[in-house]
Amino acid sequence: MDTHAYPVTRTDAEWRARLTPEQYAVMRNHGTERPGSCALLYEKRAGTFFCVGCDQPLFESKLKFESGTGWPSFNDPLPGSVENTVDRSYGMVRTECHCSRCGSHLGHVFEDGPPPTGLRYCINGVALRFEPLA
């Protein structure tokens, strides 16, 4: 069980009221959306991606790239916006990333991304809200 204290906390009822059932399954129960199912996968405008759980800015569109995996992928998050933990589910070891403000599960980090970081933050689109630049 995660005992880390986050700046934004909500009761289970508050999370369920704020999130759709799919968002709740992904963000609060560490689920995964179906690949290719989120419109944000195809978002190409300049702007910022925010956490649906707490509205924290997470990723800038200039670091988004097409990974061919079916999920929005980014080279790097905004500084301090994402924290990583070890995920040992499904008989494998992966790096999970979650929002540093509310602890919501966002996705996983892999070391097969393009330069400059070589990282691929593979993010569930339902965990994100996009705001284009004005």
Catalytic positions: 122
Q: Running DSSP on this structure, what letter comes out for residue 92?
A: S
Sheet arrangement for strand 57-60: 57-60, 47-51, 128-132
110: number of Cβ within 10 Å: 16
3-state DSSP percent of the chain in helix, strand and coil, to 5: 20, 30, 50
Length of the chain: 134
| Pick from 33, 25, 1, 20: nearest CA to 124 | 33
| SS3 at position 109 | strand
Distance CA 18, CA 84 (A): 24
